[in-house]
Amino acid sequence: MWDNRCKIAVSGVGYSKATRSADIPLAAHALEAVRGAVADSGLRMEDIDGLATYPELPATGHAEVDGISIVSVNCMMAMLKLPSLTWHIQVGTTNIGGAVQQATNALLAGVCKYAVVWRAMHNPRGTYQNLPGNMAAGASQFTGPYGFGGPGQGMAVAYTRWLEKNGQTRDKMATLAVTQRKHTQHNPHAYFYGTELTREDYFASRMVAYPFCLFDCDIPVQGAVAIVLTTADRARDLKPTPAYLAGYGQRLHFETAGRIGSLSSYMEGGSSSAKLTWERSGFTPKDVDVAQIYDGFSASVIYGLESYGFCKEGEALDFIQDGRIELDGELPLNTFGGSLGTGRIHGLWHIIEGALQASGRAGSRQVKDVNVSFVGASAPIVTGTTFIFVKEPY
Partner 1 sequence: MSDWSKVTRPIPVPNEWTKPFWDAAKRESLELQRCQSCGFFQHPPFATCVQCVSVDLKFEPVRGKGTIYAYTIMYHTGDKRFASAVPYASIVVELDDAPGALMAGNLLGSQYTEAKVGRRVEVIFEKLNDDITLPQFRLAGE
Residues that bind partner 1 in the complex, under the rule CB under 8 A: 127-131, 133-150, 152-153, 156-161, 164-165, 206-212, 256-263
Nearest-approach distance from CB 153 to partner 1, in angstroms: 5
The residues, any chain, with a CB within 8 Å of residue 88's CB and separated by 6 or more, are: 50, 51, 52, 73, 77
Nearer to partner 1, 215 or 283 (CB): 215
Classify residue 118 as exposed, middle or buried by CB count within 10 Å of its CB (0-12, 13-18, 19+): buried
- Sign of the C-alpha dihedral computed for residues 286, 288, 290 and 295 taken in this order: negative
Measure the CA–CA gap between 184 and 109, rounded to whole angstroms: 37
Q: Which is nearer to partner 1, 110 or 258 (CB)?
A: 258
DSSP string, 260-317: ---HHHHHHHHHHHHHHHHHHHT--GGG-SEEEE--SBTHHHHHHHHHTTSS-TT-HH
Give the C-alpha separation, 18 to 312, whole Å. 36
φ and ψ at residue 15, rounded to 5 degrees: -135, 150
- Residue 208 near residue 220, CB atoms below 8 Å: no
Based on CB atoms, which residue is closest to partner 1, 66 or 255?
255
- For the four alpha carbons of 357, 323, 268 and 277, in that order, the dihedral sign comes to positive
Tell me the closest approach of the beta carbon of residue 261 to partner 1, in angstroms: 4
Side-chain half-sphere CA neighbours of 75 within 13 A: 24
Cβ 204 to partner 1 shortest distance, Å: 14
Computed on alpha carbons and rounded to an integer, the radius of gyration of the chain in Å comes to 20
| Nearest distance in Å: CB 105, partner 1 | 29
Is-contact 305 311, C-beta < 8 A? yes
Complex with partner 1: residue 81 or 206, whichever CB lies closer: 206
Closer to partner 1 by Cβ: residue 105 or 140: 140
Whole-number Å distance between alpha carbons of 202 and 309: 28
- CB of 158 or CB of 356, closer to partner 1: 158
Q: Is the bond into 25 cis (omega within 30 degrees of 0)?
A: no
Nearer to partner 1, 127 or 195 (CB): 127
CA distance 138 to 115: 37
Q: CB of residue 59 vs partner 1: minimum separation in angstroms?
A: 11
Q: Nearer to partner 1 by C-beta: 109 or 137?
A: 137
